[in-house]
Structure 1
Amino acid sequence: MSAYFYPIKMAILIFPFLALLISLPIFAYAYHKNGAFSKFRGLVIYTFIFYLLAAYFLVILPLPSRDYVAQLTTPRYNLHPLIFIQQFIATNTWQPLNIHTYRQGLLEPAIIQPLFNIVLTLPFGVYLRYFGRSWKRVLIYTFCLSLFFELTQLSGLYGIYPRPYRLFDVDDLLLNTLGGLVGFVIAPIILALFPTHAQIKLREQQAGARVSYTRRLVALILDWLSLQIFNGILLLLVGLSPIKITTQVTMLSFTLLILVVFWLIPLFNQGATLGKRIVRLRVQGLNGQKASAWQLFWRVFWQYLVPIPGFITAMTLLNGMLSTGYLNPNDVDRFWLLIGVILGAGALLALHMIINIIRRNPRLYYDYIAKTMVVSSFKA
């Protein structure tokens, strides 16, 4: 039995990292497709990947040494079906009418091995039925999964070993495929406890029609990541030119890129930045018409070109006042005025955000000034 538990322990140890790596592109695609992503869908995908990892590790682990495998003389494959029945009849001591033989007989390899092969793919059938697959597709997909496992064994783990260290067995193909069908049959009993795939999809579509601040935050993060990439490329090109990189050059390039990312791209992309395009959001006028160039510019101006330079200027002045290690008495009033302006502006912005989030109002101050609004590309 330890041969079965060891791979599961290994899967549990590496699962949080490997499963996350595999899941992220799937999460991103589902979020882009529906404009929202339910926690339950994430849980289903996450556990499905965990199951596949555990099943795969059960097939390949524990890994023997190459020297040990090179000395093996055991058969490489079995192409005779239903050999497991003959082995059960020949070796098992279980007697249905003798209760004292149950414990020992049911734990013998002739029982455990076939049962394991059925249980191995049983969850696969449950998951596939949840995903809306028919029994015919479950049959085909489970057979293909089992064939992948068996070919992995036959290849000596893709050529890493000089020969197979586990048997390619046609009985495993039959039992694994049976396990998938058993999972398909019992799936309604298990799935009755959870929302259906269609219900989850409907909720995501309804959520996708709303403009949430979480969605806007994802778009903002993606936009600023793209801006930083563009800024790095631009500064690299400037560095290769005769132009000397100064603070002024850096600020100028940063300002130009803000205009490109948040004004020019939406102007020619139906009101959507790169980040908004990914999460299916766009900026439009109040009456549903396309936002004009002036509206988009005015929006960017109050969203970025006023707050960011203003904050940088205030911090630069504060740094200059404190550059000597002490505060000049003549600068005390200006120092506290700047502190008050920074804290006051930050507090007002935070209060504005909190009120809008509570009221579920997607329009922020710059939308009111520019007479624009952020809308979803999805319709409920």
Structure 2
Amino acid sequence: MSTRLVPAVVAVGLAVILSVVLFVPYVARQYRRRGELGMGNAALALAGLVYTLALFAYVLLPLPELRPDFCAVYGTSGPQWIPFNFLSDMQKDAIGTGVAATLRNPALTQVLLNVALFVPLGMFVRYMFKRGVLATTAIGLGVSLLIEVTQVTGVWFLYPCAYRLFDVDDLMANGLGGLIGAFAAPVLRAVPGQRLDVDPGQPRPVTKSRRLLAMVCDLLAYQFTAALCGTFANVVLLAVHGELIGTSDTPPTELPGHDVASAVGLWVPWALLAVVVPLASKAPSLGQGIVRLQATTRDGRPAGPGARLGRSMLGIGGYMLFSQLGGLLWLVSFVFGLASLIAIFTTAGHRGLSYVLTGLRLTDSRAVDRVEALS
């Protein structure tokens, strides 16, 4: 793979991972702040994440090999502190006269690229974080300074000397790019799907996309909770019986307490999300609570804890349990999950299988809150 493609691949890969990790909290924040997700806002947030990761990847990667003669092979001549030094470099690198030749000058091209590199930063900071022009420019300069210091210190002394040049002209060009981006920020208003036509506190219809979004949030929340609980349990297990690792032929699965650690990774997240959440909160599940959905009875009253727990067992709770127990139960969970997914599209009001089986209704929680406030 070309070294020029490595930073892009790394940035996109990390963006995908972080997007999955941050998906649930991002959706929760959007629903609390806007009352809905907003695909345009989500697209801008993803673009900002990819850009930020690409920015640091391109200025740091690929990392050179750490070797005994590192400084002799990769070391720079030292920081460049003279402002506008690129003008003298342009004279040295001149390849002709005229506008076209000047634009092809490598020294000028480098400066223009450094300006362009920070234009998106200025646009994102001012538009998405509502900062002024001066504050946005200062943030751009701060990010540029962080990058330059990282380079001059050899990635904060990971390497014995700098392998990329600290150049004050780069700092100035980046700051100019941030300034241009701050003035160009209004262009991002053209991204569709950002406009909020309804007050955040106004109830919304229960749609297929909203139900699917809740389902995705439930599944991701369970997977991350299970991973955290399982990791914690295994760390404790290895801390207690760590002397067996590497000193005998005993595999980790045969360590004392391994069954307990496995049980923690399975039952704790299931109990938290499938039992505690529907019993202790008004939300039928974590995902449905995030997208502001609530279970109600036929007469519009909030469903009680027992009804919410029953719905959970016939919904995400049952699916999580069967999928983790393995064997033929995994096939049961697959069929159950597929049926639940199809039911979202085929049942009245997109209630889904668990709501049909329990006789409950699915309502926007803001509508329920209004009814309770008036009663």
Pair in the same fold by TM > 0.5: yes
1:373 aligns with 2:340: no
TM-score by length of 2: 0.64
Closer/same/farther in 2, CA of residues 139 and 7 from structure 1, 3 Å limit:
farther
1:77 to 76, 79, 95: 79
1:26 to 13, 22, 40: 22
Separation (CA, whole Å) in 2 of partners of 1:8 and 1:203: 45
Separation (CA, whole Å) in 2 of partners of 1:192 and 1:230: 39
Closer/same/farther in 2, CA of residues 162 and 214 from structure 1, 3 Å limit:
same
Tell me the percent identity.
24
Separation (CA, whole Å) in 2 of partners of 1:149 and 1:277: 41
SS in 2 for 1:374: strand
Aligned to 2:150: 152
TM superposition shift of 1:181: 0.9
Aligned to 1:58: 58
Backbone CA RMSD of aligned residues: 5.0
Counterpart of 1:165, as a letter, is Y
TM superposition shift of 1:192: 5.7
> Does the CA contact (< 8 Å) of 1:120 and 1:176 recur in 2?
yes
Separation (CA, whole Å) in 2 of partners of 1:22 and 1:346: 26
TM superposition shift of 1:372: 3.1
TM superposition shift of 1:62: 5.1
Alignment of 1:97-112 (within 5 A): 100-112=97-109
Deviation per residue, 1:296-341 (Å, 9 max, x gap): 46646776999999xxxxx99xxxxxxxxxxxxxxxxxxxxxxxxx
Counterpart of 1:156, as a letter, is G
> Does the CA contact (< 8 Å) of 1:152 and 1:158 recur in 2?
yes
Separation (CA, whole Å) in 1 of partners of 2:310 and 2:27: 30
> Does the CA contact (< 8 Å) of 1:7 and 1:54 recur in 2?
no
TM superposition shift of 1:172: 1.6
TM superposition shift of 1:231: 12
Q: How many residues align?
A: 320
Segments of 5+ residues of structure 2 without an aligned counterpart are 234-253, 322-326, 329-334, 371-375
Aligned to 1:284: 296
Separation (CA, whole Å) in 1 of partners of 2:54 and 2:337: 49
> Does the CA contact (< 8 Å) of 1:271 and 1:291 recur in 2?
no
TM superposition shift of 1:182: 1.3
1:117 to 114, 117, 124: 114
SS in 1 for 2:346: helix
Separation (CA, whole Å) in 1 of partners of 2:110 and 2:280: 62
SS in 2 for 1:168: coil
Separation (CA, whole Å) in 1 of partners of 2:341 and 2:103: 66
Closer/same/farther in 2, CA of residues 261 and 33 from structure 1, 3 Å limit:
closer
Closer/same/farther in 2, CA of residues 282 and 7 from structure 1, 3 Å limit:
farther
TM-score by length of 1: 0.64
In our comparison, the structure showing a higher alpha carbon Rg is: 1
1:14 aligns with 2:3: no
Separation (CA, whole Å) in 2 of partners of 1:346 and 1:87: 64
1:268 aligns with 2:265: no
> Does the CA contact (< 8 Å) of 1:23 and 1:45 recur in 2?
no
Alignment of 1:120-269 (within 5 A): 120-131=117-128, 132-188=130-186, 190-191=187-188, 193-195=190-192, 197=194, 199=195, 209-211=204-206, 212-218=210-216, 220-221=218-219, 262=274, 265-269=277-281
1:91 aligns with 2:92: yes
Separation (CA, whole Å) in 1 of partners of 2:89 and 2:136: 28
Counterpart of 1:363, as a letter, is R
Separation (CA, whole Å) in 2 of partners of 1:178 and 1:297: 57
Closer/same/farther in 2, CA of residues 175 and 371 from structure 1, 3 Å limit:
same
